[in-house]
Homo-oligomer: A and B are copies of this chain.
Amino acid sequence: MITLAVDCMGGDHGPRVTLAACRHFLDQHADARLLLVGKPESMADWSHERADILPASEVVGMDDTVEVALRKKKDSSMRVAIQQVKDGRADAAVSAGNTGALMAIARYLLKTLDGIDRPAIAALMPNGKGQATTVLDLGANVDCTAEHLLQFAVMGSALVSVLKNDNTPSVGLLNIGEEVIKGNDVIKRAGELLRSAGQSGDLNFYGNVEGNDIFKGTTEIVVCDGFVGNVALKATEGLAFMIVGFLREEFSRSIFTKIAAICAYPVLSSLKKRMDYRRYNGAALLGLRGLVFKSHGSADEFAFEQALNRAYDAARNNLLDRVKVRIARAAPLLVAATGELGASAAGTPAP
């Protein structure tokens, strides 16, 4: 039996969407159980034989600062959900709430794995090979060192190797050109660390990739700092949204274009499905001593259910243990990088 703790209050729509998604999810997975966390009055008339309701008196707002979420709202639905993972009552937690708050609370309650300084957010983006590219970090870390990027590569490799059953997924370093001389100092240094990890067989490092390689599917994993990753994610969401809006507008322009839309319907619905970001909803917070998944705040019922599915798959495949093993295996690499980096940055000798 897989148990997920769900923050039912998070996201733009709250229980109206999350509870509906939960019911559908339970109907699909007979071996799943849910701990539904939220304000009792918002969930009063809801019940399911494989769901328990856990009351929480507070809700972290989308505009709440990390400090407020962490220090003032100690009985928030988000925090109570993550606490279930910490206490071993749930295998994973899922929330559509404020990303910064979720990351801070998860990090505070669960702590990071040995060898990992900072958790990262990893999500899937569709690619031209009909598969999906795993990109991290997507916004947890706005300033990264080369060493953090190496850690992201190790964590991303662990995630993909577990979920895709491929032991040596390829990793690309997001840059502004393929050549090793490109990029700023952090990126160049990260390239060196990743190349040496590749040479020692700890990672399958492809080299530098550019923004378009995410969609070409050049590598299975693309590593970048959270600022760059977040901008790339949102820019491409913005473009996809613009194109869908444009098609809708053009196809409804006249009776002729409406007929054209009917003829083209199978192709358009297939395009819509392929471009549908909802299918890829559910980002993993990697590097923690527990599984936490983040849904897009604007998720509808279908999208939120995908985030639940992703958490379920991760728990079922023992993602956490397998990530731990992989990180432990890469430990000498991570320590060496820290040492070297410390030495080059602060002038102290490497351990």
What is the oligomeric copy number?
Answer: 2
Q: How far is the CA of A241 from the CA of B233 in the complex (A)?
A: 16
Q: How far is the CA of A274 from the CA of B145 in the complex (A)?
A: 39
Once A142-B183, A185-B143, A250-B270 are accepted as A-B contacts, the answer to whether A176 and B211 lie under 8 Å apart by CB is no
Tell me whether B239 and A240 are in contact (CB under 8 A). yes
Stretch at the interface among A23-31, A260-268, A324-332: A260-268
Once A267-B250, A271-B247 are accepted as A-B contacts, the answer to whether A234 and B260 lie under 8 Å apart by CB is no
**A:191-241 near B, CB below 8 Å:** 210-216, 224, 226-228, 230-241
Q: Among B65, B214, B238, B251, point to the contact of A238 (Cβ < 8 A).
A: B214
Contact with B along A20-39 (1 / 0, CB 8 A): 00000000000000000000
Q: How far is the CA of A223 from the CA of B73 in the complex (A)?
A: 36
Tell me whether A215 and B231 are in contact (CB under 8 A). no
Closest chain B residue to A178, Cβ basis: B63
Once A128-B245, A211-B231, A231-B224 are accepted as A-B contacts, the answer to whether A142 and B176 lie under 8 Å apart by CB is yes
Q: How far is the CA of A243 from the CA of B239 in the complex (A)?
A: 11
Q: How far is the CA of A193 from the CA of B273 in the complex (A)?
A: 43
Once A250-B270, A263-B259, A275-B243 are accepted as A-B contacts, the answer to whether A211 and B234 lie under 8 Å apart by CB is yes
Tell me whether B257 and A238 are in contact (CB under 8 A). no
**A:112-144 near B, CB below 8 Å:** 126-128, 139, 142-143
Residues in B with CB closer than 8 Å to A87 are: none
Tell me whether A232 and B230 are in contact (CB under 8 A). no
Q: Among B127, B139, B251, point to the contact of A176 (Cβ < 8 A).
A: B139
Tell me whether B183 and A63 are in contact (CB under 8 A). no
Once A176-B139, A215-B241 are accepted as A-B contacts, the answer to whether A231 and B230 lie under 8 Å apart by CB is no
A242 proximal to B (CB < 8 A): yes
- Least CB distance from A176 to B in Å reads 4
A179 proximal to B (CB < 8 A): yes
What are the 6 tightest A-B residue pairs by CB atom distance, in nearest-first order? A212-B238, A211-B234, A211-B235, A215-B238, A263-B263, A264-B264
A-B CB contact pairs (8 Å), 13 listed:
A63-B179, A126-B242, A127-B242, A142-B183, A211-B231, A211-B234, A214-B238, A215-B241, A215-B242, A236-B239, A250-B267, A250-B270, A260-B267
